Amino acid sequence: MEINGINRGEGVVVQNLCFGYNRSGKPEIQDANLCVPRGVIYGLLGPSGCGKTTLLRCIIGRLKPRKGLVRVFDTQPGTGESGIPGPGIGYMPQELALISQFTIKETLRYYAGFCNTDRTLFNKRMHFLLQLLELSHLENKFVDNLSGGQKRRVSLAIALINNPPLLILDEPTVS
């Protein structure tokens, strides 16, 4: 089945998206179009302030566009059946969203809990990610005591903990 001529089998479809807040009423994003097939690594480039983060937030269902179509894996983000936001997506925001009083292990458990991840599966995944991201030796360290780079890696681990079918990284190399 197609939506306005676009195959529904695509991973992410954005069509004629408009979004904006500014005082003059001019959208930050005007008529954006994007089609990312499943299984593809895609980079979104543009100057600061051009709306990249806003577009990503529309894709994950955190923001609603004024106009246009957003579909992720054949569903509309922000609806109950989509799993987005939720288990259908791993999102690493540009700004850190970590709880400083939690250890790394507690942080991962907390975020995995939003998706009702099986405990055994969670433990395997957590140990794999801690090793992959070179955080194993820090798993019981409080987030507040980590370096900026270590905090970014924890944020990446959060995005990956539920093994989502879609991973969106906003400014992953900052810090």
- Of 14, 26, 8, 12, nearest to 164 (Cα)? 12
pLDDT at position 132: 98
Q: How far is CA 52 from the centre of its chain?
A: 13
pLDDT at 75 over 90: no
Q: Does one domain contain both 108 and 67? A: no
Per-residue pLDDT, averaged over 42-54, amounts to 89
Predicted local confidence at residue 4, as pLDDT: 44
Q: Is 174 inside any structural domain?
A: no
Give the structural domain span for 6. 2-85
Q: Is the pLDDT of residue 83 over 70?
A: no
Per-residue pLDDT band for 43 (boundaries 50, 70, 90) equals: very high
Of the ranges 13-22, 115-124, 133-142, the best mean pLDDT one: 133-142
Which tokens hold the place of 95?
Answer: 């700004």
Q: Is residue 13 predicted with pLDDT exceeding 90?
A: yes
Q: Does the pLDDT at position 134 exceed 90?
A: yes
Number of domains, the chain: 2
The pTM of this model reads 0.84
- Say how many CA atoms lie within 13 Å of 50 toward its Cβ: 8
Q: What is the pLDDT of residue 118?
A: 83
pLDDT over 80 (residue 107): yes
Residue 33 in tokens:
């179009």
pLDDT at 51 over 60: yes
Same domain, 47 and 110: no
Q: Each residue of 119-145: b (16+ CB within 10 Å) or e?
A: eeebeebbeebbeebebeebeeeebee
* Residue 127 to residues 34, 98, 110, 152, Cα–Cα distance (Å): 35, 19, 15, 17
How far apart, in Å, are the Cα atoms of 2 and each of 14, 114, 145? 13, 32, 50
Q: Dump pLDDT digits (tens) for 27-41.
A: 479 899 999 998 889
**11 lies in the same domain as 73:** yes
Does the residue 93 lie in any domain?
no
